[in-house]
Structure 1
């Protein structure tokens, strides 16, 4: 009984890999046999056919230039390449600088490194810098990822409310001393330990934020939470509290994402002019 040959399957990447059917492999093999193995055409042939694996490797040129904006689906994502102090970890700076001064100061004191006359000064400043750096690293809260679509970036200045701008600015920078991002907001909305509230250990965690435009052309800031101990109903019954806390001029919408993921969409009521 005749069996239909499978259709070729390709996987593209830095090198293209094409799985060829038996008939195609035999045909390519007959043609390639006419070329001498040591000839330049054989050595630099774009198709290298293996008799054993029947896999054709196709060399593919890769453009080294990368676009500044990535594209997800049909939307363009704006890359955040601007340098600000909010992106700097002061704990890391203090720890590295203090450790360097201490190391060199001890080395200079024991004449391993030159500059023994400055060893006391380096030890004097290096020790407190290292201590401060370690304390800041311990209390450090890293910024959350932020995805900004190009159309939302254009509407941010004109349509986003001051509170939405402040929320975005607070969660994409390093913070110190807070247990998690939006700590005060979540405490009031979910009422930790109070009647009708939730235990503090069940509090949702902000994983990322997203700036996008709704279908009716309004700016929205999406807060993506992970909550393993909560249900969609726990968020929906507090939808009005999200609206009032992040208002005025904001409407909160609750959506269920993947497993244990919940999205709170804060939509600005300001229409673009």
Structure 2
């Protein structure tokens, strides 16, 4: 049964965004740094695999106990329930331990207007980032963990910055502002805002975006990578 589960998990688990330095395996990396090798054709979204396994395990195991006691301990369907229910529960607990919840999206303005702007202005790279972080993930250190590592935002021996939420906004020129807000207790702000790193953001998340780094909350150590769309390569509207 465990072999079946591992096979299914490998088939359905969507890939992490492997953002390796551009000079390494460049032929397999698209804009945004996403590794395109071996992407599965099916992606599970909209529910927690961990909670599904836990729910199924509770139902099967509970039904087995009920059948066992109602039959006064005689062998029957209850034995099959114990055989399958308890392993399903254990798988559920393991998935729950390794699960990363999807991040939320906040709107700095009217939700419908900003979603329309998103549809009109969002680049393929921004769409892929949003798609990747708004689903459950399993076994990763953090959302976009390979991204922040490749960008040099994980000091040696430190924990990964944690993506907390996304934010959509509209700038004065009518362009889309897409912000990724991270909790960064161990990576200092000047590392995020370094001039050379800003150039990396433009390469990783481009084309047609202008990057900026915003100090969202100094006390809570929240920092945002803000990407503003441009109609052409060049500076975004201010």
Match of 1:123 among 82, 85, 100: 82
TM-score, L = length of structure 1 = 0.61
- 2:115 paired with 1:153: yes
Q: 1:203 to 1:91 in 2, by over 3 A?
A: closer
Contact 1:160–1:270 (Cα < 8 Å) also in 2: no
* Aligned positions of 1:152-191 closer than 5 A: 152-190=114-152
- SS at the partner of 1:121? helix
Paired with 1:202 and 1:105, the residues of 2 have a C-alpha distance of 43
Match of 2:205 among 242, 246, 250: 246
Paired with 1:202 and 1:119, the residues of 2 have a C-alpha distance of 45
Compare relative contact order (CA 8 Å, sep 6+) and give the higher one, 1 or 2: 2
Contact 2:46–2:135 (Cα < 8 Å) also in 1: yes
**Unmatched runs of 5 consecutive residues or more in structure 2:** 1-42, 233-238
- SS at the partner of 1:240? helix
Show the counterpart of 1:211: 168
- SS at the partner of 2:53? helix
* Aligned positions of 1:24-63 closer than 5 A: none
- SS at the partner of 1:178? coil
Contact 1:104–1:113 (Cα < 8 Å) also in 2: no
Show the counterpart of 1:268: 229
Show the counterpart of 2:65: 106
- SS at the partner of 1:221? strand
Show CA shifts across 1:1-26 (max 9, x none).
xxxxxxxxxxxxxxxxxxxxxxxxxx
- SS at the partner of 1:87? coil
Paired with 1:255 and 1:241, the residues of 2 have a C-alpha distance of 16
Paired with 2:131 and 2:146, the residues of 1 have a C-alpha distance of 15
- 1 or 2, which has the higher strand percentage? 1
Q: 1:110 to 1:247 in 2, by over 3 A?
A: same
Contact 1:151–1:213 (Cα < 8 Å) also in 2: no
Q: 1:91 to 1:203 in 2, by over 3 A?
A: closer
Q: 1:231 to 1:213 in 2, by over 3 A?
A: same
Count of equivalent residues:
183
Higher Cα radius of gyration? 1
TM-score, L = length of structure 2 = 0.69
Q: 1:156 to 1:114 in 2, by over 3 A?
A: farther
Give the drift of 1:160. 0.5
- 2:52 paired with 1:93: yes
